[in-house]
Structure 1
């Protein structure tokens, strides 16, 4: 039987029906059902028409928590209960409208007016913890991995971070004028006029000082590159890269040193006539709205004679740093040379075909070797393809082949290889402004018959001129060697994604500082404790550590008074040097009264080598000259056996009877400020109760006045009530002021009076550790810090014939001393 064929009618059903009567009856049932749905039972609100387990107390404030069919009725009931008339709801723009690129970019530009965003900010903000430093919004550390993964990348593969926050200065002028003035800013041990440097073949690093104040008045470190000279011209160009913390100081020095004044731009950016047609918004132009691109926006300064020019290239160049043994593989995938074809009408005509081919061959040679085998700080230029067309289909699955290291590297820096189009401002602007939109690249990629096939090089494809600067490593395995990648603005995000997809692991400020720690180097600001930026950073760290310490309750804090720790949150260099000078005055070896705040760090490698040689001999060291009495010597410590090091750990001079097998302990001292703290707290409790009672009396007086006026059926004296309220406000402010004063006094009673840093414990303090931790590279605890030269002299006298490399260290939260090996660090900057 066919299933679609109707079966027999059951016997209980009538054989036929009257359609009219049947439909009328059904209509009545449908209307009754609809009326029941529209008119719920008496007293049931829209919010009560859902099951009990779905009812929410906050539904009156958030109608969207109800089903969609009940939201309008709930809004009307809520307005009716408030005595209001339901207004016509305004349609809110959709999220897609609000997140359109033009609106989104305007919002981003508004948010970075206070702190500048790097071009890789959006990528970092989704994956990193962001911090505000030096006027930038910067990535501090990733949210997924600790620094151990970053160390593994720097030691075994490739680690990368964005250093575009460094400021670039461009100096132009006669070579003699530039050299004569720049010599005033560096020490006598720094050469800025070598053949490789003047030829633009290498980058150099130097420590900058106030003009003519060496070794005092340190500012910070800079790296500089000379533009390769053109034949028959002595007008040269120099790029100087500096840390953003010294931006204002360097700017002031350059202006005063060369006698420069601001050049006002004559460009009129106002629109006189309205546009005839509404054009599509340029996304690239919106991204560069807050940057000094094009070059006309760059702040320019010139001297009275118009010979020397200073251009502030801040935020106009990107600079990435890549370190690790696999850097060459990552860069060889991400940077592919683009050959120049004849007859092209663009900026590439200014580059000769021979030079570009020579640069391409040099890059092919360099790509076959580890970065540590290349000449240190060599400069190599290249014109690369659009990084967006070189993206691999996916990030994972990249295999790094072994480098062919047996063959020696034949690369040698030459002027033709170092010559770059980045030096030309008009070319940089054209490269930035001629970048094609991303959707065009995606359209070309979608037309490939086989997905993932690389796009072929065409004449209309964008080219990017880049500059590669080799960064040397340390040790025999060249740990930390790599390349710095410099390229124009506007290409930061595209180049970043290309490098990430080709296997580079990304780090932030924390990973960068830990990388420097593994290389036994201090961070940028810690290396200059006497500079203005270094002092500012030290004060910030001190306040942060104090806040964290006093956030704990008293019974959970470390009692530094019992542990004889005089300065747990800072390194008191002036006090320590003053203590050693006073001891010399007592021995009548020093008769001058010096300003110990004018201390400095010894950075001359020759001087450091001489100090190390004297310390290694059995004879006592020579007494420091008058110029070196306030000198600090950088040292490195490695724990021997058990123990650890922390920030501001003390470096102490051991006694002659101290045993290596049984390190000594600091005896616990009596807390002499305990009684003062108890008395201060009791007085504060009494004062606080007294002020509270006075405030309560004022409040009760107001209540009494209002009650009497109600009883007598008269109006209260509002003027008198206002006067009483003002007195209550003054009492409250006084109570808060006394509480703040009490907290400051109580906190000071938990710390020792800073008078004698040297003799604050049973072992004389020689110096302090500024950065310490467990070194994954060395496999042991190590740290870096400073020791006054006078302390080393006294240390050599105390130790006599015993080892002068072994010292005692003690952390700020323990009384246990630990043995450590001390070596002098040879600063390369």
Structure 2
């Protein structure tokens, strides 16, 4: 071991030795230049290329120094601030504390800022604390609760009450002479579908209905969508009529444009410039973000014919209650308003109720509702019945804790008085009354202050409650399923509740306190599948096409965001279009037309009834004379295990498929009837060659840029020259389009013969049905394909083969025709 007095190099046998002393003068002279350079770089900010926080030693640097000067030593902070002030970058301020941000005024400003992107419903704050929210159709809509409630929501529709806020449905008010409105609206619908808007059953205003609207004189093509309509109950001798139409926000503007062209209307405010208002920008922002009750309503007028249209979008709250207890909950939550005789009131109801004719209306409504509120079910009412009520403020009629409303005394329908035109009359139709109700509404905080001041006995009525203004509402009955062979009779029945602007949250919370189950958009789709009617996936409507395009783009981008070895090769699975249903190409191949013909969904009640009789072998399908361009709506029920999923293909079976299915049933075998053989991808080699040639081209272009850089460096020695940026964005974009076309062509070569079994339809929505206990699906098939199915299925029930897009297994499913028995 080496001695401690020896140095390290000498201890290991080396020859290097350190001097025993250092000459300080010589050492300082050698380090003088380095010290001068260091001091000059620190003191000067004019000639140095680095910023102050970049000039510090490595051990003193912090990542937060760029935006927080307090991270630097105190003597360098002024230099750092001077550098950032010259660059023009704003100094980032510290985020305000949560206590400051949660102040009421600051919170409201933040809400108004966030409302500019998507419109909020009046119940948004309540939903945002309990639901997953999604931006859809220009609104912030509750999608699904944060807890598991899927089965609970089904039980609510089957045994209790499910509540949904559908206030995003836009309202259109049409006013004008009776004959003018009838002649114009009759051109947008057809009597072949069922009762139209101008049917006598609806003109009185006592009943509401649903109908499909088309472009002017274009039936059965160019369907706009399904709307709900309601005529205003008018006094005798009045020529003018008023109609409310509730439309989905996707085709709301298109419907407005259709009405403008139909009645020859002009915009009343067309000369107004929305940005040149005699007000400050802050007041303009406040007008945009305030409640819809104060926003100017767009209006279109034809002075010659006297027709007027108003856009009441976001001016009304629209709630939907479904389930057998929905009527009981409304009976508990809606308490009719009965003013005190010895108190002089100052709200809108005082002047409105002084008319003798209106006193008769109020008396009939009170009598009808007092007898109707004790009924046990909604199905006991007339389908589409409209009831107008004036109720007390719902915030004064809540239980202390959430209570499940249950029916009391059982009454029979014979005890219910006949509904008249007075039953459907409501002051909610009057725009001036709605505005006054909105502006004179007392906040919940004001009511709580009054209750704390005047309430002596908890739970007892206070004196101030007699002075709180009442609110008018409209009730519209939904009969639910009317065909016991298709779905359980009465399933989905309930009420639609229309409430004026400002009282949406108050009514919503009252219904929740009385036992209604809140649901979102996901549960709304579940209910649509359970009832067998899904408006979001109808292929010929504006809503159906829009939703299909959105879903296609989402699935397309998700598919190509995966690496090549993680993508499903649909060509090997013999799937031509996995992300959308190519209806036009499917119909054209069955019609054998060169150009894709226009297609439409068959809604003719008589034709659908004949097809249903044909499935029961009571009618010849040839006698129905179906158009080759028609798509037949079907309800499919899987006979064995497996969920095919959306966009699944519906195929025609072969004779030996039926024999194999019969053998499997006898032996309780749940294996698929037929499995598509795995095919080869004809474009796989071409994709590999195209990809390798593309990479070689990019490498060659890069080498060219490097050679250009080196040549410039030789011409200008000592100058810093960077490699040029690649200008190959167009090249890469074209390569991406080619590769994607080889993976999934935009227009497949064949849809009808894409696999071993002949395809004649597609499934638009598929899921496990809790009411059926099986996997059910909604789909559409071509008329020619359905006629061919009747030739194949000689005996037994009619069955089709269904295969998912990610599976090679075919399984049988039974079919039913979706026939809407009533337009309500």
Residues 777 and 222 from structure 1, CA distance in 2 versus in 1: closer, same or farther, beyond 3 angstroms? same
The counterpart of 1:350, out of the listed 349, 352, 356, is 352
Give the Cα–Cα distance (whole angstroms) in 1 for the partners of residues 636 and 278 of structure 2.
Answer: 67
Matched, 1:315 2:321: no
Matched, 1:365 2:371: yes
Name 2:468's counterpart in structure 1. Answer: 461
Give the Cα–Cα distance (whole angstroms) in 2 for the partners of residues 780 and 358 of structure 1.
Answer: 47
Give the Cα–Cα distance (whole angstroms) in 2 for the partners of residues 555 and 273 of structure 1.
Answer: 60
Residues 755 and 271 from structure 1, CA distance in 2 versus in 1: closer, same or farther, beyond 3 angstroms? closer
Matched, 1:437 2:463: no
The counterpart of 1:261, out of the listed 266, 291, 297, is 266
Matched, 1:145 2:178: no
Tell me whether 674-683 or 159-168 shows the greater mean CA deviation.
674-683
Residues 293 and 656 from structure 1, CA distance in 2 versus in 1: closer, same or farther, beyond 3 angstroms? same
Q: For 1:749-760, what aligned pairs fall within 5 Å after superposition? A: 749-751=742-744, 754-760=748-754
Name 1:690's counterpart in structure 2. Answer: 700
Name 1:641's counterpart in structure 2. Answer: 640
Name 1:216's counterpart in structure 2. Answer: 221
Name 1:784's counterpart in structure 2. Answer: 778
Residues 91 and 776 from structure 1, CA distance in 2 versus in 1: closer, same or farther, beyond 3 angstroms? closer
Q: TM-score, normalised by structure 1?
A: 0.80
The counterpart of 2:548, out of the listed 538, 542, 566, is 538
The counterpart of 1:226, out of the listed 231, 255, 276, is 231
Matched, 1:512 2:524: yes
* Runs (5+) with no aligned partner, structure 1: 1-55, 64-73, 275-280, 583-592, 710-715
The CA deviation at 1:85 is: 9.3
Give the Cα–Cα distance (whole angstroms) in 2 for the partners of residues 227 and 117 of structure 1.
Answer: 28
Name 2:86's counterpart in structure 1. Answer: none
The CA deviation at 1:353 is: 4.0
Q: For 1:38-437, what aligned pairs fall within 5 Å after superposition? A: 75=70, 78-84=73-79, 95-188=98-191, 189-264=194-269, 290-294=290-294, 297-305=296-304, 307-342=306-341, 343-348=344-349, 349-351=351-353, 352-368=358-374, 369-395=376-402, 398-402=403-407, 404-405=409-410, 407-408=412-413, 410-411=415-416, 412-437=418-443
The CA deviation at 1:208 is: 0.3
Q: How many residues are treated as equivalent by the alignment? A: 723
SS in 2 for 1:130: strand
Residues 802 and 756 from structure 1, CA distance in 2 versus in 1: closer, same or farther, beyond 3 angstroms? farther
Give the Cα–Cα distance (whole angstroms) in 1 for the partners of residues 467 and 544 of structure 2.
Answer: 49
Q: For 1:734-753, what aligned pairs fall within 5 Å after superposition? A: 734=728, 736-751=729-744
**Per-residue CA shift, 1:706-751, capped at 9, x if unaligned?**
7x22xxxxxx4x8xx5xx76xx22xx230x4433333332222223
Residues 560 and 456 from structure 1, CA distance in 2 versus in 1: closer, same or farther, beyond 3 angstroms? farther
Q: Is the 8 A contact 1:105 1:286 kept in 2?
A: no
Name 1:796's counterpart in structure 2. Answer: 790
Q: Is the 8 A contact 2:207 2:385 kept in 1?
A: yes
The counterpart of 2:572, out of the listed 556, 562, 565, is 562
Residues 767 and 476 from structure 1, CA distance in 2 versus in 1: closer, same or farther, beyond 3 angstroms? closer
Matched, 1:596 2:596: yes
Give the Cα–Cα distance (whole angstroms) in 2 for the partners of residues 733 and 317 of structure 1.
Answer: 54
Name 2:502's counterpart in structure 1. Answer: 490
SS in 2 for 1:251: helix
Residues 83 and 307 from structure 1, CA distance in 2 versus in 1: closer, same or farther, beyond 3 angstroms? closer
Q: Is the 8 A contact 1:340 1:353 kept in 2?
A: no
Q: Is the 8 A contact 1:370 1:403 kept in 2?
A: no
The CA deviation at 1:679 is: 1.3
Give the Cα–Cα distance (whole angstroms) in 2 for the partners of residues 450 and 335 of structure 1.
Answer: 24
Give the Cα–Cα distance (whole angstroms) in 2 for the partners of residues 597 and 148 of structure 1.
Answer: 42
The CA deviation at 1:498 is: 1.9
**Per-residue CA shift, 1:533-563, capped at 9, x if unaligned?**
4323212211111222223333332221121
The CA deviation at 1:788 is: 0.9
SS in 1 for 2:210: strand
**Per-residue CA shift, 1:53-75, capped at 9, x if unaligned?**
xxx97786899xxxxxxxxxx94
Residues 306 and 632 from structure 1, CA distance in 2 versus in 1: closer, same or farther, beyond 3 angstroms? closer
The CA deviation at 1:362 is: 2.5
* Runs (5+) with no aligned partner, structure 2: 1-60, 83-90, 482-486, 665-672
Give the Cα–Cα distance (whole angstroms) in 2 for the partners of residues 572 and 77 of structure 1.
Answer: 64
Give the Cα–Cα distance (whole angstroms) in 2 for the partners of residues 758 and 268 of structure 1.
Answer: 54
Name 2:816's counterpart in structure 1. Answer: 823
SS in 2 for 1:418: coil
Q: Is the 8 A contact 1:654 1:807 kept in 2?
A: yes
The CA deviation at 1:260 is: 0.9
Give the Cα–Cα distance (whole angstroms) in 1 for the partners of residues 801 and 241 of structure 2.
Answer: 53
SS in 2 for 1:383: strand
The CA deviation at 1:770 is: 0.3
Residues 92 and 614 from structure 1, CA distance in 2 versus in 1: closer, same or farther, beyond 3 angstroms? closer
Q: Is the 8 A contact 1:288 1:490 kept in 2?
A: no
The CA deviation at 1:594 is: 7.7
Residues 598 and 272 from structure 1, CA distance in 2 versus in 1: closer, same or farther, beyond 3 angstroms? closer
The CA deviation at 1:227 is: 0.7
Name 1:526's counterpart in structure 2. Answer: 537
Give the Cα–Cα distance (whole angstroms) in 2 for the partners of residues 215 and 57 of structure 1.
Answer: 70
The CA deviation at 1:234 is: 2.0
The CA deviation at 1:299 is: 1.2
Q: TM-score, normalised by structure 2?
A: 0.81
Q: Is the 8 A contact 2:378 2:493 kept in 1?
A: yes
Residues 409 and 548 from structure 1, CA distance in 2 versus in 1: closer, same or farther, beyond 3 angstroms? farther
The counterpart of 2:515, out of the listed 480, 487, 503, is 503
**Per-residue CA shift, 1:456-495, capped at 9, x if unaligned?**
6733112111111111222445221111110111111222
The CA deviation at 1:118 is: 1.2
Residues 148 and 549 from structure 1, CA distance in 2 versus in 1: closer, same or farther, beyond 3 angstroms? farther
SS in 2 for 1:596: coil
Give the Cα–Cα distance (whole angstroms) in 2 for the partners of residues 254 and 218 of structure 1.
Answer: 14
